[in-house]
């Protein structure tokens, strides 16, 4: 390569251009073009670094490295700093230059890592297009310690070709990544809103959202944080292929960067300083993460979604777009859940209003009549009209019996007459009336349950037996409930016809199952249904017993 004719220069550029168009794989393309460059120029060795915006680099291709640089999986070539890398990150390397002495080769020789094959110097050429930089091209030969200006000019032209190819390939990868991520977003959004429609409580939505993110996206870790009382607290977190139950508050020194999100609706990449406060809390979090605010319909930005990136920095823009879209869908789902809770509360209010109307139209009217009749009887007694007083008292007796009958009828709608004898007995009796054998297993004390929990337990048990009688085509159901720490666990299993729960949900859902879920969630509980055609149905409910402690206090 001591003297380059114009024909040789054109031939070299033509050969490189043809090689660059032979592959759509970055590493394969760079490896092939490096091999071809050494072949047509007569140089002996070379390597290519690709750089990112975080001052990190990767050895993407190499050819004919000496044994000294091949030791320990090319550790000396892959790690550490050197003159060309330092100048690149300092923005002081703009053109092809001669390296007086390669630090990597000198270190390898001084450390006795093996034969350097006489390689001591190389030319360094930045890969760039205008202001956009991509990496470095290093080439050299044994015994060659200087490159002429025309040689450097040719290498500069080759580097420009490589830069254009890298830019083209990165744009292609970005568009491919964008398409893949938005396809995942569609599935994520659909399942998230299905969970809300199925009756998931708003307080459980953060955990569901993070579980679905882990299921559909390839981000190594994700966390949803909420600002409460001036501090950020983790609501849900996933890392290492598992949910992490660590609902801690972040230290104040780790919150300053997240506070910036309250002033913007855009995502941003956390800097090394930002990450310092977080990586001390979460060992799973690397030095590369994105954060985006979850903007509620009210305009508040008290929630933040944080993800760990696994993709190269040139895909940050794509990941940011997807992350912002994810937060929009989470915000929409949270609003959907809030409206669903309001709807269920309206249903409960309507039920109470109906009961109030029934009481007013029946029992209250009778009690009013009894009051007026009692006043009349009092007047008759003062006037010693014994016959009229006796008739008034008889009327009061009749009204009281009617009122008692009406009251019992209303109570029966809310609570079975024999519930005081125990929920277990009540469910057995209820099953007998429907022709269902209820096999019960009870562990722990359930006779002093808080009234809301007791009523909920009765109602879901009642609905379980109803479903078996109406839909399961079974004659027996096994029900168990037991106390575990501060929770009451309810489990029911039948061996009936079962059901396709997804089909039931898409068809509008079973009213009975929806009411069961609403009752469980109204006391802060969780309900899980498992079924398939021909496999019966398994109902699992967890009801909190904190209410009992509050009432005892």
User: What are the start-end ranges of the H helices in 226-315?
Assistant: 256-259, 272-279
**Separation in Å, CA 337 to CA 198, 330, 456, 477:** 10, 10, 21, 32
pLDDT for residue 413 is more than 60: no
- Point out the least confidently predicted range of 80-89, 134-143, 438-447: 438-447
pLDDT for residue 315 is more than 50: yes
pLDDT digits (tens, 9 = 90+) for 513-543: 777 887 888 788 888 888 888 888 899 999 9
- Point out the least confidently predicted range of 113-117, 272-276, 421-425: 272-276
Q: So what's the pLDDT on residue 508? A: 46
Residue among 230, 228, 234 nearest 305 (CA): 234
pTM metric for this prediction: 0.59
Identical topology for domains 181-341 and 342-414: no
For the chain, give every domain's residue range: 6-174, 181-341, 342-414, 419-552
**Residue in this structure with the two tokens 């055609």, named with its chain if needed:** 533
For residues 324 and 318, give the distance between their C-alpha atoms in angstroms, rounded to a whole number.
Answer: 10
Task: Give Cβ neighbours of residue 249 (< 8 Å, ≥ 6 apart).
Answer: 231, 232, 233, 234
Q: Does domain 342-414 have CATH number 3.30.70?
A: no
Pick the CATH number of 419-552 from 3.90.800.10, 3.40.718.10, 3.30.300.10, 3.30.565.10: 3.30.565.10
pLDDT for residue 491 is more than 90: yes
pLDDT for residue 279 is more than 60: no
For residues 514 and 501, give the distance between their C-alpha atoms in angstroms, rounded to a whole number.
Answer: 12
Contact of 66 with 117, CB cutoff 8 Å: yes
- Reported in sequence order, the residue ranges of 11-159 that DSSP labels E, i.e. its strands, are 45-51, 57-63, 97-99, 122-129, 132-140
pLDDT for residue 212 is more than 90: yes
Binning pLDDT at 50, 70 and 90, where does residue 442 land? confident
135's torsion region: left (phi>0), alpha (psi -120 to 50) or beta?
A: left
Angle between helix axes 103-110 and 67-78 (nearest 10 degrees) is 120
Contact of 194 with 219, CB cutoff 8 Å: no
pLDDT for residue 132 is more than 60: yes
Q: Does domain 181-341 have CATH number 3.30.450.40?
A: yes
Element (H, E) at 233: strand 231-239
The superfamily (CATH) of domain 6-174 is GAF domain (3.30.450.40)
pLDDT digits (tens, 9 = 90+) for 222-251: 888 888 777 778 888 888 777 776 656 666
């Amino acid at each position: 390569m001591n003297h380059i004719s114009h024909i040789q220069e054109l031939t070299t550029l033509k050969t490189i251009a043809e090689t660059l168009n032979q592959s759509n794989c970055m590493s394969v393309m760079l490896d092939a073009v490096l091999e071809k460059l050494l072949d047509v120029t007569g140089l002996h060795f070379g390597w290519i670094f690709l750089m990112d915006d975080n001052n990190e680099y990767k050895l993407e291709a190499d050819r004919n490295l000496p044994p000294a640089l091949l030791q320990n999986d090319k550790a000396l070539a892959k790690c550490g700093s050197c003159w060309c890398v330092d100048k690149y990150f300092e923005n002081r390397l703009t053109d092809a230059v001669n390296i007086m002495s390669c630090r990597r080769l000198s270190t390898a020789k001084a450390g006795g890592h093996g034969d350097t094959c006489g390689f001591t110097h190389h030319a360094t050429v930045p890969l760039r297009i205008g202001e956009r930089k991509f990496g470095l091209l290093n080439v050299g030969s044994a015994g060659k310690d200087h490159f002429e200006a025309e040689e450097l000019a040719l290498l500069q032209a080759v580097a420009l070709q490589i830069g254009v190819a890298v830019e083209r390939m990165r744009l292609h990868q970005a568009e491919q990544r964008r398409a893949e991520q938005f396809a995942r977003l569609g599935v994520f959004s659909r399942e998230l809103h299905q969970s809300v429609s199925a009756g998931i409580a708003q307080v459980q939505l953060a955990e569901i959202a993070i579980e679905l993110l882990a299921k559909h996206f390839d981000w190594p870790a994700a966390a949803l944080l909420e600002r409460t009382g001036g501090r950020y607290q983790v609501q849900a977190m996933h890392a290492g292929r598992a949910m992490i139950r660590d609902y801690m508050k972040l230290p104040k020194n780790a919150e300053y960067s997240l506070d910036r999100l309250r002033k913007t609706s855009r995502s941003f990449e956390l800097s090394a300083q930002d990450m310092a406060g977080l990586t001390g809390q979460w060992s799973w979090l690397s030095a590369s993460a994105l954060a985006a605010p979850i903007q509620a319909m009210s305009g508040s930005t008290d929630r933040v979604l944080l993800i760990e990136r696994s993709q190269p920095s040139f895909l940050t823009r794509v990941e940011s777009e997807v992350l912002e879209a994810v937060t929009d869908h989470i915000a929409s789902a949270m609003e959907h859940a809030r409206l669903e809770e309001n709807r269920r509360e309206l249903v409960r209010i309507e039920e109470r209003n109906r009961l109030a109307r029934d009481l007013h139209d029946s029992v209250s009217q009778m009690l009013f009549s009894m009051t007026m009749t009692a006043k009349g009887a009092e007047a008759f007694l003062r006037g010693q009209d014994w016959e009229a007083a006796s008739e008034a008292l008889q009327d009061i007796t009749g009204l009281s019996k009617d009122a008692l009958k009406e009251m019992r009828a209303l109570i029966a709608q809310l609570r079975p007459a024999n519930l005081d004898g125990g929920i277990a007995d009540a469910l057995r009796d209820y099953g007998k009336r429907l022709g269902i054998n209820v096999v019960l297993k009870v562990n722990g004390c359930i006779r002093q349950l808080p009234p809301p929990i007791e009523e909920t337990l009765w109602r879901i048990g009642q609905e379980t037996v109803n479903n078996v009688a109406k839909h399961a085509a079974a004659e027996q159901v096994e029900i168990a409930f037991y106390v575990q720490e501060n929770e009451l666990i309810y489990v029911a299993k039948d061996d009936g016809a079962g059901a396709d729960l997804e089909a039931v949900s898409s068809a509008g859902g079973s009213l009975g199952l929806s009411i069961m879920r609403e009752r469980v969630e109204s006391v802060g509980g969780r309900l899980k249904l498992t079924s398939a055609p021909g496999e019966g149905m398994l109902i699992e409910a967890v009801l909190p017993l904190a209410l009992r402690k509050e009432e005892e206090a």
